[in-house]
Structure formats: structure tokens, C-alpha cells
């Protein structure tokens, strides 16, 4: 089809753009063929132009009112030079209002037209994540379980349309589900609990929030449809129950939505694994599941890996580019995937003893972690500590002879570690020095101030040398606080000096340096708090006769610097303490035996 210019084209073009039906209604009555004639070189019709604005709804409505009187449906459903019809335009811009009008007024063939990229309007909407349009337009008016709909599962997963993917998985014949669907799911950590970043409080709310499990058998399509509808009804009831909470606590609503998403992702995963095993021979199943597992390791989705191993145990020995599952977990520093080793029987010894070329698992652990994994940890020093924790953990699993085994470059694992981490070691040294230098200055100042305050006590001394306020409670509070501040600041100063004069060897970052930093930061915090208490006690002593109400505002004011210090340093302190003395990140995550 070629474009033929007409004098009326600019007028129609402008009317469609600006939702101005009155300018062209008379023209269309005289020449109805202009309603479907392309108005530019891209072969766009007035309907396409108006739908593409997502605002010319009245223009579209008036146009579609003429479908019954102007019956040339092929022209109404015409396409532009890219193969897109007006429904493609609606999917592209998310124009749900006009899409509903079109699927009601125009023939059903409009929904199955493919553009030059092979996308139908439904497929395009799925790729662009138009969830509302799929729910309100395609599901309600046009969706049927044909080959085209089954092909939507990957775009639906990629766009986060889990409800659509769930319908397709449950209702489609298992032999029509594409094997690549599981691989697509393996790139979406946000669909699984392991991908959540909710924190402690959010995790508790997530754990106790009631969400119905999705259990839908595949005996026959009608039963599946009925149960799926029951699930939707349950969701509606749950959502209405949480409506009040959601209104006043958006964070609760977000956690609720995350848990629903996780449940749907888990249901899709289980059914896809089952489908892959049922319809494929062992060679193809191993390849498909192995490829999905390799992707899942990269994104840390241990739930999917665990499900694949339970469904097809032999996949645990699948090798991707020469790496087995646990080698890949070590290489990618995915601790939750690596921890699946704790859910194995004695076979974990075989997994640990496997070789990657001339390198063993400890050589792999000795290499520097990917930058995107290191960036999840605060500070180069803690990054170095985490790398050492990985090395020590893998060292406990490998055979003794592998600890000092040579690779193709004639390097032992520790030699590889030293060479790979030399830059990170320098960064960790600088991070430690920067963190402690400023704190050292503060600690030294507090030592000086508290020592001077102990000599020049408030109120002075009597003729017999005893302090004037000796019998005042505030004076005893001052002396105790001042002595405690002097002691704690001195301790802090010594710890920071110990860090600054350290040799900064690799192993020092595992316990020695973090321990000194913890003691230094805690002591400094206590010395600041004690100094403020001593200051408040001094003011109370000097002003209690003249200003009796001084105590309360003084306490409030002196608590400000203590609170600011805690707010700025406490998160770092907690992270260091947890990383050094908290529960090991390497542990059994579930009692479920996988192999």
C-alpha cells in the first residue's frame, strides 16, 4: 500500500491530534472513505493518530460509531508501514479507553494481526508491561488459549505480569509451554523471597502476613479455571481485609504485594519444573534445567535451584562453562546458593572435590568477587573481610591436599588470593585509616577536656581543699561521668592508634582490625555520652539556685550530639559487629534434603 496525498490530510491530521471531531465530521459525512485513508507517509489512519495521542477519546468514539455504516472492516483494521494497527497503538501508549472501544466495535481479527516484529497487540502489551490493559481489555474481551497466547508466557514473566503467566501455565497443555520460560523466570530475583530486601521489621511482617497458598492441579482445564477463579476471589478478600492498613501504612501494602508476587512466582516455578520433567527426555531436560540453574545462580535465586534439583536430582552435577553448581556459586559469591551444600548428604564431599580445569574450589574462592557483589557491602575493609570469610569457608570443605595445590600458573590458592586482592587490600587500608583518623582526633580532644575538668572541678574548693559541691548528687554524677569519659576516650584512642600502626596484612581484616574498630567506636560513643552527662551535671550545679527548671532542657540539649553520633555511626557499627561476631552467613537454610 502506498500513500497518496490529499488536500484534506492536514486538516484530518490536526483534528485527530487535538480531539477536534467537529472540524471533520462534515467532511467525513461527504467522503466516508477518508475515515480510513492514511494521512501521512507512515500510512497512519485518523484512528491510529487519535489513539496514539491517548487523549483524543471523543474523536475515536465518533469514528467508531461509523463502523456500522461504513462496513469495510479491512480498512478499519489496516496497518501502517510497520505493520501496526490501531490496537497496536493503544497497547504502545497504554490507551485502555480506546482499546476497549475498538475490541467491541471492530472484528476480532484485529487482535491477532502481527507487525513486522511478529508482535500482536496482546504480545506488545505484555512486553511493555501493560498489566491493566491486559486485565481490562484482552482478558475480558479477546483472550483465548491459542498458540499465540501460550507464546506470551516469556514476555509476561519479563514484564512482571505474573497473573497472566500463571493463567497460561495452569491452563495451557504442557507440551505447548516453551522450555525457555523457566530460564526467563531465573532472571527475576524479585519474584522470590531471596530477592527481597525488607530488613528485620519488614521480614517479620512478611513472615506473619497471611497469604493463601496457590495449589491448582492440572487434571483438566475446567477444574483449573474454577480453582483459579477461587484463588482470585481469595486475593480480593485478602486485599479488602488489608484495605484499611494499606491506606494508612503504604509499607505494609508494599510487603503484602511482594508476598503475593512471591507466591505467584513460586507457583509458576513449581509447575514449569514439573512440565519440563514430564515432557522432555533426560538429555534435553538436563540442558534446559542446567541453563536455568546457571542463570539462577548469577541472580542468587536458590529457591529455583532447589526446586530443579528436587525435581531432577542429576542436574546438581550439570556444568556450565566447566563450573559445577557450587563452583559457580563461589565464583558469583551467592551465599544462599552455596548454602544448598549444607542440605546435601555425604555427596557434598564430591561437589567440593570437583576440579575446574587445574583449579580446585579454593582457587575459585581466592579470586576477587564480581564488583556488583562487592558493592553490596559497606567499605573496602568489610569487603576484604567478606572475601576472607568465603576463603576460610571453602577451605573447610575442600580436601586437605587442595589447600596447597598448584594451578596452571603454579600458584597455591593463597597466592592467588594475595595477588587478586592486592588492590582491595590497599583500599581497605585507606578506608580503615580514613575512618579512624577523624575519630582519633575526637578521642584525643575528649581525653584532654575530661582530664582538665577533673582538676578544675565546678565550684572550686573550700579552704580545707574539699570541693564546694561535694555533698551534691549532681557533683557525684559529674565526677563519675568525667572519670568514665576519660577512661573510655583513652581506650578509644589506644584502639584507633593500634589500627593506624597495624601492619594491614590480609588476615588482619578477618578479626583483628574489625575488633579494634568495634572497641574504638563503642568507647568513643560512650565517652561522648559521658562527657555530655558531665557537662549537664556541671550546669545543674552552677545554676540550680537561680534556675530550678534547668535540668530538663539541659538533658534534652546534651542528648542531641549523642543522638547525632549514634545516627551517623550506629549503622556502620552494627554492620561490623554483625559481620564479625554475628551468625555465620554460611549455614543450613532448610531441613529439606536435596541430594
Residue 328 maps to a domain: no
Residue in 218, 196, 221, 222 with CA at minimum distance from that of residue 209 = 196
Are both 414 and 453 inside the same structural domain? no
Residue 281 grid coordinates: 527426555
End of a domain among 385, 401, 420? 420
**Can you tell me the distance from the alpha carbon of 2 to that of 43, in angstroms, rounded to the nearest whole number?**
8
**Can you tell me the distance from the alpha carbon of 84 to that of 79, in angstroms, rounded to the nearest whole number?**
5
Measured N-to-C along each axis, helices 250-279 and 162-171 cross at an angle, to the nearest 10 degrees, of 30
Check whether 385 has a pLDDT greater than 90: yes
CB atoms within 10 A of CB 482: 24
Residue 463 maps to a domain: yes
Give first-to-last CA distance, the chain, whole Å. 62
Are both 459 and 566 inside the same structural domain? yes
Are both 312 and 351 inside the same structural domain? no
Residue 591 maps to a domain: no
Are both 128 and 21 inside the same structural domain? yes
Check whether 229 has a pLDDT greater than 70: no
Are both 158 and 215 inside the same structural domain? yes
Residue 590 maps to a domain: no
Q: What is the dihedral of CA 14, 20, 23, 25, to 10 degrees?
A: 120
Q: Which residue do the cell numbers 530460564 mark?
A: 183
**Can you tell me the distance from the alpha carbon of 179 to that of 384, in angstroms, rounded to the nearest whole number?**
40
Predicted confidence band of residue 236 (pLDDT cuts 50, 70, 90): low
Check whether 242 has a pLDDT greater than 70: no
Most confident of 246-260, 465-479, 575-589: 575-589
End of a domain among 288, 318, 348? 318
Residue 255 and residue 206 in contact, taking contact as beta carbons nearer than 8 Å = yes
Q: From residue 582, how far is each of 195, 374, 480, 575, 578 by CA, in Å? A: 22, 19, 33, 9, 4
Residue 362 and residue 395 in contact, taking contact as beta carbons nearer than 8 Å = yes
Are both 414 and 296 inside the same structural domain? no
Are both 275 and 158 inside the same structural domain? yes
Are both 124 and 214 inside the same structural domain? no
Check whether 544 has a pLDDT greater than 70: no
3-class DSSP string for 311-357: HCHHHHHCCECCECHHHHHHHHCCHHHHHHHHHCCCCHHHHHHCCEC
The count of residues in the chain is 595
Residue 79 and residue 85 in contact, taking contact as beta carbons nearer than 8 Å = yes
Are both 42 and 118 inside the same structural domain? yes
CATH of the domain at 84: 1.25.40.20
Most confident of 31-45, 232-246, 273-287, 449-463: 31-45
Residue 36 maps to a domain: yes
Residue 60 maps to a domain: yes
- Mean pLDDT, the chain, integer: 80
**Can you tell me the distance from the alpha carbon of 491 to that of 583, in angstroms, rounded to the nearest whole number?**
27
% of the chain with per-residue pLDDT over 90: 15
**Can you tell me the distance from the alpha carbon of 312 to that of 224, in angstroms, rounded to the nearest whole number?**
25
Domain that holds residue 23: 1-143
Residue 79 maps to a domain: yes
Are both 187 and 127 inside the same structural domain? no
Residue 505 maps to a domain: yes
Q: Which residue do the cell numbers 522470590 mark?
A: 192
Number of domains in the chain: 4
Average pLDDT score over residue span 538-555: 68
Average pLDDT score over residue span 4-26: 84
pLDDT tens, position by position, 89-113: 888 888 888 888 888 887 667 777 8
Q: Which residues contact 445 (CB under 8 A, 6 or more apart)?
A: none
Q: Which residues contact 15 (CB under 8 A, 6 or more apart)?
A: 21, 23, 24, 46, 59
Q: In this predicted structure, which of 111-115, 143-147, 163-167 has the lowest mean pLDDT?
A: 143-147
| DSSP symbol at 146 | S
Residue 425 grid coordinates: 587490600
Are both 163 and 221 inside the same structural domain? yes
End of a domain among 125, 143, 161? 143
CB atoms within 10 A of CB 550: 15
**Can you tell me the distance from the alpha carbon of 281 to that of 269, in angstroms, rounded to the nearest whole number?**
19
Residue 324 grid coordinates: 559445577
Check whether 219 has a pLDDT greater than 50: no
Are both 411 and 434 inside the same structural domain? no
Amino acid at each position: 500500500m502506498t500513500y497518496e496525498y490529499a488536500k484534506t490530510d492536514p486538516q484530518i491530521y490536526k483534528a485527530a491530534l487535538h480531539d477536534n471531531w467537529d472540524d471533520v465530521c462534515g467532511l467525513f459525512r461527504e467522503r466516508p472513505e477518508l475515515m480510513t485513508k492514511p494521512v501521512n507517509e507512515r500510512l497512519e489512519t485518523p484512528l491510529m493518530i487519535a489513539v496514539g495521542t491517548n487523549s483524543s477519546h471523543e474523536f475515536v468514539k465518533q469514528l467508531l460509531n461509523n463502523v456500522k455504516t461504513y462496513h469495510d472492516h479491512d480498512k478499519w483494521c489496516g496497518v501502517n508501514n510497520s505493520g501496526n494497527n490501531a490496537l497496536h497503538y493503544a497497547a504502545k501508549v497504554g490507551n485502555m479507553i480506546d482499546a476497549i472501544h475498538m475490541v467491541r466495535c471492530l472484528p476480532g481479527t484485529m487482535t491477532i494481526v502481527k507487525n513486522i516484529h511478529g508482535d500482536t497487540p496482546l504480545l506488545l502489551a505484555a512486553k511493555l508491561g501493560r498489566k491493566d490493559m491486559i486485565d481490562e481489555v484482552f482478558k475480558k474481551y479477546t483472550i483465548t488459549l491459542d498458540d499465540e497466547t501460550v507464546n506470551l508466557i516469556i514476555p509476561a514473566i519479563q514484564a512482571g505480569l505474573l497473573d497472566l503467566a500463571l493463567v497460561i501455565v495452569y491452563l495451557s497443555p504442557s507440551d505447548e509451554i516453551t522450555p525457555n520460560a523457566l530460564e526467563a523466570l531465573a532472571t527475576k530475583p524479585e519474584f522470590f523471597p531471596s530477592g527481597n530486601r525488607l530488613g528485620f521489621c519488614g521480614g517479620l511482617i512478611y513472615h506473619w502476613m497471611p497469604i493463601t497458598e496457590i495449589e491448582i492441579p492440572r487434571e483438566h482445564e475446567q477444574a483449573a479455571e474454577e480453582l483459579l477463579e477461587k484463588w482470585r476471589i481469595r486475593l480480593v478478600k485478602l486485599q479488602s481485609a488489608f484495605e484499611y492498613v494499606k491506606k494508612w501504612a503504604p509499607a505494609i501494602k508494599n510487603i503484602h504485594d511482594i508476598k503475593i508476587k512471591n507466591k505467584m512466582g513460586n507457583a509458576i516455578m513449581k509447575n514449569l519444573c514439573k512440565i519440563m520433567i514430564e515432557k522432555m527426555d533426560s538429555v534435553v531436560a538436563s540442558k534446559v534445567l542446567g541453563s536455568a540453574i546457571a542463570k539462577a545462580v548469577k541472580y542468587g535465586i536458590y529457591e529455583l535451584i532447589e526446586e530443579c534439583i528436587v525435581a531432577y536430582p542429576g542436574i546438581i552435577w550439570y556444568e556450565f562453562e566447566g563450573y559445577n553448581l557450587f563452583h559457580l556459586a563461589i565464583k558469583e559469591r551467592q551465599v544462599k546458593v552455596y548454602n544448598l551444600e549444607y542440605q546435601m548428604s555425604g555427596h557434598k564431599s564430591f561437589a567440593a572435590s570437583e576440579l575446574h580445569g587445574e583449579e580446585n574450589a579454593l582457587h575459585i574462592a581466592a579470586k576477587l568477587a564480581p564488583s556488583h557483589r562487592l558493592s553490596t557491602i559497606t567499605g573496602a575493609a568489610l569487603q576484604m573481610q567478606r572475601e576472607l570469610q568465603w576463603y576460610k569457608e571453602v577451605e573447610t570443605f575442600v580436601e586437605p591436599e587442595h589447600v596447597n595445590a598448584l594451578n596452571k600458573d603454579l600458584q597455591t590458592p593463597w597466592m592467588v588470593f594475595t595477588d587478586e586482592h592486592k588492590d582491595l587490600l590497599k583500599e581497605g587500608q585507606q578506608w580503615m585509616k580514613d575512618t579512624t583518623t577523624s575519630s582519633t582526633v575526637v578521642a584525643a580532644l575528649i581525653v584532654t577536656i575530661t582530664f582538665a575538668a577533673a582538676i578544675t572541678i565546678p565550684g572550686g574548693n573550700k579552704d580545707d581543699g574539699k570541693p564546694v559541691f561535694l555533698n551534691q548528687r549532681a557533683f557525684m554524677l559529674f565526677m563519675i561521668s568525667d572519670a568514665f569519659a576519660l577512661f573510655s576516650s583513652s581506650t578509644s584512642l589506644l584502639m584507633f592508634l593500634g589500627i593506624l600502626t597495624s601492619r594491614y596484612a590480609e588476615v588482619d581484616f578477618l578479626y583483628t582490625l574489625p575488633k579494634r574498630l568495634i572497641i574504638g567506636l563503642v568507647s568513643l560513643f560512650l565517652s561522648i555520652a559521658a562527657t555530655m552527662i558531665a557537662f549537664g551535671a556541671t550546669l545543674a550545679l552552677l545554676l540550680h539556685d537561680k534556675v530550678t527548671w534547668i535540668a530538663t532542657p539541659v538533658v534534652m540539649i546534651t542528648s542531641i550530639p549523642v543522638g547525632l553520633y549514634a545516627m551517623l555511626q550506629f549503622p556502620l557499627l552494627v554492620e561490623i559487629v554483625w559481620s564479625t561476631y554475628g551468625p555465620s552467613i554460611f549455614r543450613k537454610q532448610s531441613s529439606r534434603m536435596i541430594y
